[in-house]
Amino acid sequence: MRLKIARLTVFDILLIVIVFFAVLPLIYPKLISMIGNYVIWYVLFASAWVLITFSTRPAYFLFPTKFRLVVFIVIALIILVPFLAQNIVLMRRFISLSSILMFFLFYDFNKSTSRQHITKYILLLIIPFVLLTSIETLIALERNAFISRAIKSSGERTLDILSQGIGGYDFIYSLVIVVPLLISRTLEVGFIRKPFKGLLCITLLTLMTAVILKSNYFTALVMMIVGVIIIAFKHVQTSKLKSIYIPLLFFSSVVGITTFSGITLWAPEILGVIETIFGSSLTGERLTILIEYLAYGNDLSAITTREGVLLQGVVNSFSYFPFGLIFSQESDRFYQIITHHSFIFDTLSILGWLGGLFIYCIFLPLISRLRRGQKFEALSVLVPFIIVSINNNLSYLIGFTTFFVVLYILDTKTLNNE
């Protein structure tokens, strides 16, 4: 493979080193077990990035675009508000969430100052570690289907698992976000002209898909399926396949209707396939509940009740405290309901209108790219990202993947034209 090597300045090298080492522990979990407190690690490298970029390119900060100015203000406020409320737990949490917008700034700075080669070098450096962590995680999941779910935010058990190089939920969901784009790029690679790129794409795609299927995260499986379907629509509409688009859509509809109408007859076989692929994992259990609901009308509440409780919690808290629970004297009775596994619901409840502005800033970079040439690819990321934001907490790695890696892929030419 022949790479176009851009000449690097000392400034470029510094930025590559800072961003690479800021995210490396997220991608290669063994380092997390060594450094212990990632929050301090992240704050140090993020501060170094701000110091160096401001000292060399102050115009980026002093004369920002309107959206960039809003991002600066929101980052400052979501860290400052928990500090003023003297809530250390929430301060740590929102430092983590503020990293999502910081990773956007890491990318946006490179793009705005014509330094996309820096972004490319960083991605090339992290690919080997993604491969390594994927392999080690897959091997561990073969032995214990619940090993990734056992990784929590802290604790000796968590550090022990991370020391084995096993990725947790943030690693799994980050793979899910990338897989649809990787499928699209794999289909576009000229395998004869660029065999190495083609082989690399297929290797990454195979490993990532295997890890997701074995990971025991039902939401991750749903996200991947949705993203892949969106990408499939994109490639069906290419010039070579447009002529079969209507027949294919008709055929798919017939197959879908036939499948659902005959699901009662085929339910035992479908359940057998689920058992073979997923075993006794949580994903297998939820798929079984879904199939039994479609086939026999069984109760579906086991996989739908939680979202209803979360939504009711955010509605109640937002109606009582529109400026956020964080300053409320009665917050304790709401925290036990809302501060669990939903970025959107929790953020709205805790920060009120500020949380709404924060969510707006996070979603806008993806939404704005729907109007550009890569609308299907942007949608294949946006829809799964909405799903994970509703059903789970966002994390450092999900933020880096979505607002650094994905934005680079969406904003650059396809691999065939690079």
Please indicate, yes or no, if residue 328 is contained in any of the structural domains: no
Give CA–CA dist 33/14, Å, rounded.
25
Per the CB < 8 A criterion, the answer to whether 229 and 235 are in contact is: no
Is residue 327's pLDDT more than 80? no
Please indicate, yes or no, if residue 315 is contained in any of the structural domains: no
Give CA–CA dist 339/358, Å, rounded.
17
Q: What is the reported pLDDT for 374?
A: 75
Give CA–CA dist 167/388, Å, rounded.
17
Is residue 328's pLDDT more than 70? no
SS3 per residue for the chain: CCCCCCCCCHHHHHHHHHHHHHHHHHHCCHHHHHHCCHHHHHHHHHHHHHHHHHHHCCHHHHCCCHHHHHHHHHHHHHHHHHHHCCCHHHHHHHHHHHHHHHHHHHHHHHHHCCCHHHHHHHHHHHHHHHHHHHHHHHHHHHHCCCCCCCCCCCCHHHHHHHCCCCCCHHHHHHHHHHHHHHHHHHHHCCCCCCHHHHHHHHHHHHHHHHHHHHCCCHHHHHHHHHHHHHHHHHHHCCCCCHHHHHHHHHHHHHHHHHHHHCHHHHHHHHHHHHHHHHCCCHHHHHHHHHHHHHHHCCCCHHHCHHHHHHHHHHHHHHHHCCCCHHHCCCCHHHHHHHCCCCHHHHHHHHHCHHHHHHHHHHHHHHHHHHHCCCHHHHHHHHHHHHHHHHHCCCCHHHHHHHHHHHHHHHHCCCHHHC
Domain count, the chain: 1
Give CA–CA dist 43/30, Å, rounded.
19
CA distances from 402 to 20, 115, 121, 233, 321 (A): 16, 19, 17, 21, 31
In tens, the pLDDT along 242-255 reads 555 555 555 555 55
CA 185 from chain centre, in angstroms, equals 18
Say which residue, 197 or 255, is predicted with more confidence: 197
Q: What is the reported pLDDT for 364?
A: 93
Q: Which structure tokens are listed for 27?
A: 């991608």
In 3D space, the residue among 10, 170, 175, 203 whose CA is nearest the CA of residue 99 turns out to be 170
Please indicate, yes or no, if residue 362 is contained in any of the structural domains: yes
Give CA–CA dist 401/99, Å, rounded.
12
Provide the pLDDT confidence category of residue 240 given band limits of 50, 70 and 90: low
Is residue 4's pLDDT more than 70? no
Is residue 402's pLDDT more than 70? yes
Per the CB < 8 A criterion, the answer to whether 165 and 132 are in contact is: yes
Provide CB contacts within 8 A for 193, sequence distance 6+.
none
Please indicate, yes or no, if residue 118 is contained in any of the structural domains: yes
Please indicate, yes or no, if residue 406 is contained in any of the structural domains: yes
Q: Among residues of the chain, what percentage have pLDDT more than 90?
A: 36
Q: What is the reported pLDDT for 32?
A: 86
Say which residue, 168 or 22, is predicted with more confidence: 22
Is residue 406's pLDDT more than 90? yes
What is the chain's mean pLDDT, rounded? 79
Give CA–CA dist 230/377, Å, rounded.
8
Please indicate, yes or no, if residue 218 is contained in any of the structural domains: yes
Is residue 371's pLDDT more than 80? no
Give CA–CA dist 49/181, Å, rounded.
28
CA 31 from chain centre, in angstroms, equals 21
Say which residue, 320 or 107, is predicted with more confidence: 107
In tens, the pLDDT along 278-315 reads 565 555 566 666 666 555 555 555 545 555 555 555 55
Say which residue, 114 or 329, is predicted with more confidence: 114
Provide the pLDDT confidence category of residue 1 given band limits of 50, 70 and 90: very low
Is residue 414's pLDDT more than 50? no
Q: Which structure tokens are listed for 227?
A: 């993203």
CA 223 from chain centre, in angstroms, equals 10
The stretch 79-100 carries a mean pLDDT of: 80
Per the CB < 8 A criterion, the answer to whether 366 and 335 are in contact is: no
Give CA–CA dist 324/242, Å, rounded.
50
Average the pLDDT over each of 94-98, 113-117, 148-152 and give the range with the smallest value: 148-152
Length of the chain in residues, anyone?
418
Give CA–CA dist 299/26, Å, rounded.
39
Q: What is the reported pLDDT for 63?
A: 93
Please indicate, yes or no, if residue 347 is contained in any of the structural domains: no
**Domain extent at residue 411:** 10-261+352-417
Is residue 28's pLDDT more than 70? yes
Provide the pLDDT confidence category of residue 418 given band limits of 50, 70 and 90: very low
Provide the pLDDT confidence category of residue 74 given band limits of 50, 70 and 90: very high
Provide the pLDDT confidence category of residue 23 given band limits of 50, 70 and 90: very high
Q: What is the reported pLDDT for 91?
A: 76
Please indicate, yes or no, if residue 397 is contained in any of the structural domains: yes
